[in-house]
Amino acid sequence: MDEMPYVSVLIPVLNEEESLPELHKRLQDTLKGTGKPYELIYINDGSTDKTGILLEAFHTDDKRAKVIEFNRNYGQHMALFAGFEFAKGEIVITIDADLQNPPEEIPKLIEKAEEGFEVVATYRRHRKDSLFRKLPSYIVNKITAKLVGVKLRDYGCMLRAYRRNIVDYMNMCPESSSFIPALANTFAKKITEIEVGHEERKKGISKYSPFRLLRLNFDLMTNFSLLPIQFISMLGVVIAILGLLFAAFLVVRRLMIGPEGEGTFTLFGILFFFIGIQIFALGVIGEYIGRIYQEVRRRPRFIIKKELM
Ligand code: UDP
Ligand code: MG
């Protein structure tokens, strides 16, 4: 029982009382089947349903089930950061609690990690989500691949395996917002991607509203590159040049045809365009400054209310 775990499974949980019993059973069966010492670390991310009670019962029943409980909701990626700090395994697996990622795929991930891959990513075969989720995902995958410099088909799938060294590197990152799959890839040399099944969400509801998804994607963009801000500067330069050319044109026109009387609305049109860009630019700069502010305050990233280890 007290064996050092070789595999750690991290499960962030927000109000998943309906999925938990089945999930726990399937995780236990799958991991027992591998014959390797393991631990299941559930991170209770501020659930308000019976999740807490269920998790405590899992722990009472089997000490390999461990629980970290946050004082409130900090988001899936913070939950995983907390999990990484506690995980003892040589191979660390992350998985969603809603049974959309089948636990039975875990042995495949372990096998790949043992072949020497530092990160085993996955992509969802026949992803069972709405088009409204899949289309933005597709775009974000493309952008992330560019920003991080590692092409993966599916950055959004959280069923993944990481080797110990990658987990140690991630534990050295004290940032207060991040996107874990992208972060891991900035450290790893050997990355592979395998296909896994994907189920529809049968119980409970998705914890990501469109607004939260947007925030997550902002995290992704601003945490991994200065591209948005550099893009704005470039745009500024281009617009300044265009403005200059336009002014020169007006001077020449005035000399040759005389003053323009009815150009007021053209001027408004041009002005509004520039004002729009300026406000947008301010927004982008504000986004970065807000993030710098968050970091310099050095508040704890999350507060752990209870630990069952
Ligand atoms: N989750 C969490 N904290 C959050 C949001 C989600 O711990 O603030 C967990 C959730 O319980 C689930 C996983 O993260 O285990 C993925 O969430 P969900 O299935 O709602 O996301 P989707 O599949 O809709 O992208
Ligand atoms: Mg889900």
- Using CA atoms, how far residue 201 sits from 16, 129, 160, in Å, is 11, 8, 19
- Element of type H or E holding 166: helix 164-171
Q: How far is the CA of 153 from the centre of ligand 2 (A)?
A: 18
Sign of CA dihedral 29, 30, 33, 36: negative
- Report the alpha-carbon distance of residue 84 to residue 87 in Å, rounded: 5
Residues 51-96: tens digit of each pLDDT: 999 999 999 999 999 999 999 999 999 999 999 999 999 999 999 9
Q: How far is the CA of 168 from the centre of ligand 2 (A)?
A: 27
pLDDT above 70 (res 1):
no
For the chain, give every domain's residue range: 7-206+301-308, 227-297
Residues 92-111: tens digit of each pLDDT: 999 999 999 999 999 999 99
- Closest residue by Cα to residue 216 from 252, 181, 254, 250: 181
Kindly state the average pLDDT of the residues 271-284: 84
Q: State the Cα torsion 256-257-263-266 to the nearest 10°.
A: -50
SS (H, E, C) 56-105: HHHHHHCCCEEEEEECCCCCHHHHHHHHHHHCCCCEEEECCCCCCCCHHH
Structure tokens at 282: 């301010």
CB distance 21 to 58 below 8 Å = no
Pocket of ligand 1 (CB under 6 A): 12-14, 16, 45, 73, 75-76, 79, 96-98, 100, 206-208
Q: Which residues contact 78 (CB under 8 A, 6 or more apart)?
A: 45, 70, 177, 301, 302
Q: How far is the CA of 36 from the centre of ligand 1 (A)?
A: 27
Q: How far is the CA of 154 from the centre of ligand 1 (A)?
A: 16
> Which residue, judged by its Cα, is nearest atom 8 of ligand 1?
75
Strand pairing of 91-94 and 119-124? unpaired
Q: Which of 40, 45, 81, 96 to mutate to test the pocket of ligand 1 (most atoms within 8 A of CB)?
A: 96
- Report the alpha-carbon distance of residue 106 to residue 9 in Å, rounded: 9
- Report the alpha-carbon distance of residue 123 to residue 138 in Å, rounded: 12
Residues 209-248: tens digit of each pLDDT: 888 888 888 888 777 777 777 888 888 888 888 888 888 8
pLDDT band at 129 (very low <50, low <70, confident <90, very high): confident
* Domain boundaries 7-206+301-308, corresponding CATH code: 3.90.550.10
